[in-house]
Amino acid sequence: GSSAMPHKRNPVLSENLTGLARLVRGYAMPALENITLWHERDISHSSVERVIGPDATITLDFALARLTGMMEKLTVYPERMEENLESLGGVAHSQKVLLALTQAGMSREGAYAAVQAAAMATWTKLGQPDAKRFRDNLLASAEVAAVMDGAALDAAMNPARDFSHVDTIFVRVFGT
């Protein structure tokens, strides 16, 4: 298996963290089943609460500590990430384009068909000398060109939009 491949970095800690998250989420069902007792309050709920309260909080504490350690050691290669996205000819932006086309007045079905056709035209020619980028295939569509020009398409496909609220999210999660 992949553990025998020395060139590969196995995400053991990430996989473990995923399992811990699954375990903590599993406590949601017994907690929800305890809701029916809020107005009656017999003691049938206490055994559930005695187990899931400590177990969930200890597991969550361990998971957060593990995540913190992972983030401290995380190595990110932004240039390589950008190269990977660019190698797709712009197709990675298809969902954003679909939404922009519907906001520009195209029907959802029409936008889906136009985006799919442009994506498939791009995808099937990737790496070939006559390959066209997703943007160019979109603008070649009369339906797309009728509701969106190149500047609007570029704005919709701008990756900076994906990160425009990152600072707000960090403040919400971490408080500062």
Q: What is the pLDDT of residues 75-102, one digit of tens each?
A: 999 999 999 988 999 999 999 999 999 9
List C-alpha distances in Å: 42 to 12, 34, 45, 51, 63.
Answer: 43, 10, 7, 17, 33
pLDDT, average across residues 51-72:
95
Task: Output the six-digit token pair for 72.
Answer: 């401290």
Question: Around 84, how many Cα atoms within 13 Å sit in the side-chain half-sphere?
Answer: 5
Residues 9-41 have pLDDT tens digits of: 778 889 999 999 999 999 999 999 888 866 767
Instruction: Give strand ranges (E) for 8-136.
Output: none
pLDDT over 80 at 149, yes or no = yes
Q: Do 69 and 104 fall into the same domain?
A: no
pLDDT, average across residues 49-73:
95
Q: Do 17 and 54 fall into the same domain?
A: yes
What percentage of the chain reaches a pLDDT higher than 90? 73
Mean pLDDT over the full length of the chain? 92
Task: Output the six-digit token pair for 16.
Answer: 């473990």
Question: 161 or 28: which carries more pLDDT confidence?
Answer: 28
- The reported pLDDT for the residue numbered 111 is 98
- Among residues 75, 100, 128, the one where a domain terminates is 75
Asked whether residue 93 is assigned to any structural domain, the reply reads yes
With the CA atoms of 28, 29, 31 and 32 taken in that order, what torsion angle do they form, in degrees rounded to the nearest 10? 110
- Among residues 57, 75, 93, the one where a domain terminates is 75
Q: Do 62 and 95 fall into the same domain?
A: no
This prediction has a pTM of: 0.66
Residue-wise burial string across 36-56, b where 16 or more C-beta atoms lie within 10 A, e elsewhere: eeeeeeeeebeeeeeebeeeb
**Number of domains comprising the chain:** 2
Least confident of 55-64, 142-151, 164-173: 164-173
- Burial (CB < 10 A; 0-12, 13-18, 19+), residue 143, is middle
pLDDT over 90 at 137, yes or no = yes
Domain of residue 136, CATH code = 1.10.40.30
- Among residues 36, 57, 75, the one where a domain terminates is 75
What range does the domain containing 106 cover? 84-163
What percentage of the chain reaches a pLDDT higher than 70? 96
With the CA atoms of 48, 49, 50 and 55 taken in that order, what torsion angle do they form, in degrees rounded to the nearest 10? 90
Residue that has been written with the tokens 């099937």 in this structure: 124
Asked whether residue 128 is assigned to any structural domain, the reply reads yes
Q: Do 6 and 62 fall into the same domain?
A: yes
Nearest-angstrom CA–CA distance, 100 and 104: 6
